[in-house]
Structure 1
Amino acid sequence: MIVGTRGSQLALAQTKQVCADLSKITGESIDVEIIKTKGDKITTSQLYNMDSKGLFTKELDIALLEEEVDFTVHSFKDLPTELDEDLEIVAVPKREAPNEVLISKKDWNELGPGSKLGTSSLRREAFCNHYNKEFELKPIRGNIETRIQKALESDLDATIMAQAGLKRLNLTKYIKNVFPLDYITPPAGQGALAIITRKDSDIKGVISKLNDYVSMQEVLAEKKVLEELGVGCQWPIGAIARMNDNEFNIYSILLTKEGEILKEQTEKGSIRNAVELGGRIGKLFGDYV
């Protein structure tokens, strides 16, 4: 088998873990094919100012459709809301922590007005404005290690990142604060991986053994919010689904760039109706987008 992946340290770490877990099941080794995406080649633009559909996935989809690789591994949050009709998310392994974290020499509460915070996320920018931080917001791009270095060693004072990537790369020592999920709500799918194959693939059965049902339903519900709205990172939207005491909960928040809350909503019910619950929120938010 051949797996397709992006070439960043995080993408490779994620893919190697999937391959290791899969090899335990099949007893076979898996070859890794590194594929460069359009998003990897663009290092200067703010992603929310671009047409970001498939920015980090399209080239991998093409390799899969042309049978150059047998399956691909993605960060779930990078997936466009609609997959190619011939492709399928076959497995979402157990999700890593979806929280946002602060990388800084200072505590969040010590970062005063005028502090320079690096971010290329409209959602993170909106949350900073919501909490009246009065930061000087600076664009920042690059892999995880680069952004950590910029936050700690350049003229920046801080940046906000996903906890999951730092955990997967054993870089948690750089985390200053972990934000609660309802304080800075993550983007749909954060912390989860998606393993994709062709719909007619004969390895779907074995790949599906890596699926974690709860994790899959959580991220599908979160993505359904965006799918109903027909938007991606061009709007400041956070969404997080969790199982609490055998009840499925999904919370989502929609803000303006300036930090005003346009709408926030929680839906609760059975995990069997997870996607439907996400869809309800998306329809409700549609009046504000």
Structure 2
Amino acid sequence: MNNVIRIGTRDSELALWQANHVKDLLAKNGFESVIVPVKSDGDLILDKPLHELGITGVFTKTLDVAMLNGTVDIAVHSMKDVPTKLPKNIVKAAVLPRANTFDILLHKDKPKEFAKHATIATGSLRRKAQWLNRYPKHTIVDLRGNVNTRLEKLQNNDWSGAIFAAAGLERINLKPQNHTVLDWMIPAPAQGAMLVVAMENDKSTRKAIETLNDYETDICTTIEREFLSTLEGGCTAPIGALAVIDIDYVTFIGGLFSLDGKHKVTVEKRILIENCEGLGALCAQEILKEGGEEIMIKLKKELSL
């Protein structure tokens, strides 16, 4: 490990907040670090929906390269953006305590005023599918860019509303009062969690980062990402998953949706935490048996997964 840990991050306001949060936590543990911003393809290519870019880990690829090239020592990610399979020689070093897991709708009008007809903006196929499942007559438009860019687009368009992850807006103090919590929407696997990755052979850096790991968040996100991986869905596929620990138990809910929202298969389990190993895979297999396999076959053709 270098004397100073180089923290790689995207250069958006939210990503820099997350990187600086890690920097502050490391400082409290006696480790010096510096921020190294890197612009990702996901930030640069804003005129295409995510699923059309044809890249797994569109927001992490550039940072992966920077790590492999030795430009940075660690990288900080929104964990929901990270592919379930990390690049060779890069490993999970720590999962930080989880923030708000909910999606929220930012709206200009009260929800009851556009219950029948509305235009909702989101760049997420998962959010789109679940919204159309609940509101099949609504129109969904694509919304890309970092948090600030998307907020600006919402203000400059005549959309009824736009869907955001609550955690991101809360972290940079941009969550407006005029919002609705979508507690019925299953979040993305690992939503609200931050992941720090390091080089596998950099044992001293990994030892420093391990001090930041949150046990419960690590368990829950592992279950969720195992669910995603078993379904063989990319980060952009309409798959939701959430695991929550309540004392001695883990409660899990997962869902797979067709792109148009017309078809869905969901699963819910509550088991003792001591028995949670393999829970994500078990729930995914149940989804596939209950009709999810047909949905996944169609999704792979539509998205070229």
TM-score, normalization: structure 1?
0.93
CA distance in 1, matches of 2:53, 2:277: 28
SS of the residue 2:46 aligns to: coil
CA distance in 1, matches of 2:160, 2:16: 29
1:185 maps to 2:195: no
1:78 maps to 2:98: no
Aligned with residue 205 of structure 1, among 182, 207, 214 = 207
SS of the residue 2:29 aligns to: helix
**1:232-273 Cα shifts (integer Å, max 9, x gaps):** 245311101101242011110111122234311112223344
Letter of the 1:243 partner, please give it.
I
SS of the residue 2:176 aligns to: helix
1:13 maps to 2:30: no
SS of the residue 1:267 aligns to: strand
Task: Give the conservation status (yes or no) of the 8 Å contact 2:186–2:242.
Answer: yes
Change (3 A) 1:24 1:110: same
Aligned with residue 231 of structure 2, among 223, 226, 229 = 229
SS of the residue 2:244 aligns to: strand
Q: How big is the shift at 1:52?
A: 3.4
CA distance in 1, matches of 2:86, 2:235: 17
CA distance in 1, matches of 2:248, 2:74: 33
Task: Give the conservation status (yes or no) of the 8 Å contact 1:226–1:282.
Answer: yes
Match of 2:119 in 1: 116
1:1-40 correspondence to structure 2 within 5 Å: 1-28=5-32, 30-40=33-43
Task: Give the conservation status (yes or no) of the 8 Å contact 1:102–1:108.
Answer: no
Task: Give the conservation status (yes or no) of the 8 Å contact 1:118–1:156.
Answer: yes
Q: Which segments of 5 or more consecutive residues in structure 2 lack a partner in the other structure?
A: 297-305
Total equivalences in the alignment:
286
**1:146-177 Cα shifts (integer Å, max 9, x gaps):** 21222234222210000000110101225511
Task: Give the conservation status (yes or no) of the 8 Å contact 1:218–1:242.
Answer: yes
Match of 1:241 in 2: 243
SS of the residue 2:278 aligns to: helix
In terms of mean alpha carbon deviation, does 73-82 or 260-269 score higher? 260-269
Letter of the 1:277 partner, please give it.
L
CA distance in 2, matches of 1:210, 1:234: 28
Aligned with residue 48 of structure 1, among 43, 46, 51 = 51
SS of the residue 1:172 aligns to: coil
Task: Give the conservation status (yes or no) of the 8 Å contact 2:106–2:176.
Answer: no
Change (3 A) 1:272 1:64: farther
1:103 maps to 2:112: no
CA distance in 2, matches of 1:53, 1:110: 38
Q: How big is the shift at 1:88?
A: 1.0
Letter of the 1:18 partner, please give it.
V
Change (3 A) 1:205 1:27: closer
Letter of the 1:278 partner, please give it.
G
In terms of mean alpha carbon deviation, does 157-166 or 137-146 score higher? 137-146
CA distance in 1, matches of 2:153, 2:117: 17
Q: Which segments of 5 or more consecutive residues in structure 1 lack a partner in the other structure?
A: none
Task: Give the conservation status (yes or no) of the 8 Å contact 2:250–2:272.
Answer: yes
Match of 1:126 in 2: 129
Letter of the 1:192 partner, please give it.
A
SS of the residue 1:189 aligns to: coil
Task: Give the conservation status (yes or no) of the 8 Å contact 1:218–1:274.
Answer: no
Q: How big is the shift at 1:64?
A: 1.2
CA distance in 2, matches of 1:125, 1:142: 16
In terms of mean alpha carbon deviation, does 41-50 or 190-199 score higher? 41-50
Task: Give the conservation status (yes or no) of the 8 Å contact 1:76–1:190.
Answer: yes
In terms of mean alpha carbon deviation, does 97-106 or 43-52 score higher? 43-52
Change (3 A) 1:275 1:97: farther
CA distance in 2, matches of 1:179, 1:132: 13
Q: How big is the shift at 1:19?
A: 0.5
SS of the residue 1:12 aligns to: helix
RMSD between superposed Cα atoms in Å: 1.7
Alignment identity in percent?
A: 31
Q: How big is the shift at 1:84?
A: 1.6
Change (3 A) 1:143 1:234: closer
Letter of the 2:245 partner, please give it.
M
